[in-house]
Amino acid sequence: MGTNNKARRAAKARRRAKQVAQRRAGLQQGPAPHGSGNGPDDTAHARGVPTDMWAEHEDDLHRILVAIWAGGWQPAELIREVQRSTKRPKAVELVRRLIAVDHARRLPQTLHPLWQAQVDSLGLTDTRAGAGWLADELRRSSQDHAADLRILLLTLQMLGPLPRLIPPPGGSATDVDIAQADNNSQQSDPVLERVRALLAQAESTNYPAEAEAFTAKAHELMTRHAIDAALIEGTTTSAGWATAVRIAVDDPYVETKSLLLHIVAKNSRCRAVFHGRYAVSTVIGTSDDLAAVQLLFTSLLLQAQQALLAEGDAVQAGARQRSRAYRTSFLFAYANRIGERLAEVSASTAADVESTTGASVLPVLAQRLEVLDRTIEDLFGPLTHSRVSAGRDPVGWDSGRRAADRAHLGDADLAAGGQQPLALAG
């Protein structure tokens, strides 16, 4: 009997040592198999791992999330980054559940209206705010998702800060460096409504010349609108004049697409800073101009993609028009030519205003751009500039130029304008 008691005590000690080792190791070696022989306590386990271990990881997730919110991230951005960097559906499910639980714990009065609106737009499943959600989430699946959780934790821990555009939960307006433009408030602006209508026409027409005309007219309208507002306000700017939005730039050809956004912003009296690690750009300007940048960038990018798809559909698989070099050159040339056209429209509109009103436009606009540059310096500090390569396909370059403006230009332009600088956050 004594021998049996000694054996039972030794077995019990081994089980305790194993559980301690599991807690210390976390999830680095994954959970023990379900029904691991630990006795009747298995009913309190999720996928064979002690419930208190899942509770520890749940606490870690919430602690990290608080730091992420304080670091400037927004809910939709966080979900996109987890999806983009992990490529794991379960990790995305877990971060969505994490955000839902965190949101359920917040008092409504501690949430900025823009934050609340963004969470509402995500369509998150209603969930309780209590503890234990992580074990419940993992128990529902028949698969072992310890690796997904491990990768999610690592991804969240590695996120760096972004400029805070919306006060995080529990914060106040004084905590934020710059206010995010509330483009929903611009829905009734008659100028923006006309711009939307013109860009919608540009996207829907099958005739490139019409698309270019609609796009140019939309830019002219917004330029005239912005110049009129600047002349009324004069050289003074009120507090909170500069606002900001973050715009996602999706694969493929992220750098070239971000160059198009940079060019559109620059020619729309705004400034853009690209966060290459996260494939997003922070764009700073007036609320009206930012709304126009988002509309114009989306429309121009769609038109470029439609032109590329049409070229790809017209040739066989493996043809030059389907190569990465060709498409990179196409998009780069397209962005450059768009910049030239927008600059021409802006200069023409400014000259027309000056001849009509007798007022000098350029000093007023230059002063506003100086304010934007100072705002960017305050937000980001010193910036680096990266050269975006045009690619090495002169035929793709020429095709991109013609897609932006149907005038044929020589291949010598490829050598003359083969790179463009892009402002990057440090």
Q: Are 326 and 394 in contact (CB under 8 A)?
A: no
Q: What is the distance between the alpha carbons of residues 74 and 247, in angstroms, rounded to a whole number? A: 12
Q: Is the residue at 175 inside a domain?
A: no
Q: Which position has the higher pLDDT, 399 or 287?
A: 287
Residues 116 and 209 occupy one common structural domain: no
Residue 388 pairs in a beta bridge with 420
Q: Is the residue at 376 inside a domain?
A: yes
For residue 388, the SS3 value is strand
Residues 281 and 305 occupy one common structural domain: yes
Residues 231 and 88 occupy one common structural domain: no
State yes or no: pLDDT of 15 exceeds 90. no
pLDDT band at 260 (very low <50, low <70, confident <90, very high): very high
Place of tokens 């230009």: 409
Q: What is the distance between the alpha carbons of residues 132 and 217, in angstroms, rounded to a whole number? A: 56
pLDDT band at 77 (very low <50, low <70, confident <90, very high): very high
Which of 167, 201, 226 terminates a domain? The answer is 167
Residues 126 and 192 occupy one common structural domain: no
384-389: strand order across its sheet? 243-248, 280-285, 271-275, 419-424, 384-389
Which of 140, 167, 194 terminates a domain? The answer is 167
Q: Tens of pLDDT along 93-117? A: 999 999 999 999 999 888 999 999 9
Q: Is the residue at 143 inside a domain?
A: yes
Q: Give the number of domains in the chain.
A: 2
Residue 244 pairs in a beta bridge with 180, 284
Residue closest to 334 by CA, chosen among 396, 252, 255: 396
Which of 135, 167, 199 terminates a domain? The answer is 167
Residues 375 and 245 occupy one common structural domain: yes
The overall average pLDDT reported for the chain is 78
Residues 282 and 357 occupy one common structural domain: yes
Helices 208-233 and 190-204: angle between axes, nearest 10 degrees: 160
Residues 213 and 161 occupy one common structural domain: no
Centroid of chain to Cα 330: 23
pLDDT at residue 44, rounded to an integer: 38
Q: Is the residue at 207 inside a domain?
A: yes
Q: Is the residue at 325 inside a domain?
A: yes
pLDDT at residue 20, rounded to an integer: 46
**Total residue count of the chain as it appears in this document:** 426
Q: What is the distance between the alpha carbons of residues 343 and 303, in angstroms, rounded to a whole number? A: 19
Residues 243 and 306 occupy one common structural domain: yes
Question: What's the domain range around 239?
Answer: 183-424
Q: Tens of pLDDT along 174-191? A: 344 465 655 444 455 788
Note the pTM of the prediction, 2 decimals: 0.77
Q: Tens of pLDDT along 391-412? A: 677 777 677 777 765 433 334 4
Q: Tens of pLDDT along 333-376? A: 888 888 998 999 999 998 988 888 877 887 888 888 888 888 88
Q: Tens of pLDDT along 125-173? A: 877 777 888 988 887 776 778 899 999 999 999 999 999 999 999 765 4
Q: Is the residue at 34 inside a domain?
A: no
Q: Give 167's DSSP letter.
A: P
Residues 232 and 368 occupy one common structural domain: yes
Residue closest to 165 by CA, chosen among 71, 248, 101: 71
Residues 158 and 187 occupy one common structural domain: no
Phi-psi region of 234 (alpha: psi -120 to 50; beta: other; left: phi over 0): left
Residues 6+ away with beta carbon under 8 Å from 170: 106, 110
Indicate the Cα dihedral angle 350, 352, 357, 362, nearest 10°. 20
pLDDT at residue 209, rounded to an integer: 76
Calculate what percentage of the chain has a pLDDT beyond 70: 73
Residues 414 and 341 occupy one common structural domain: yes
Q: Is the residue at 113 inside a domain?
A: yes
Residue 285 pairs in a beta bridge with 243
Residues 357 and 399 occupy one common structural domain: yes
Q: Is the residue at 12 inside a domain?
A: no
The predicted model gives 203-207 an average pLDDT of 83
For residue 77, the SS3 value is helix
State yes or no: pLDDT of 68 exceeds 70. yes
Q: Are 414 and 396 in contact (CB under 8 A)?
A: no
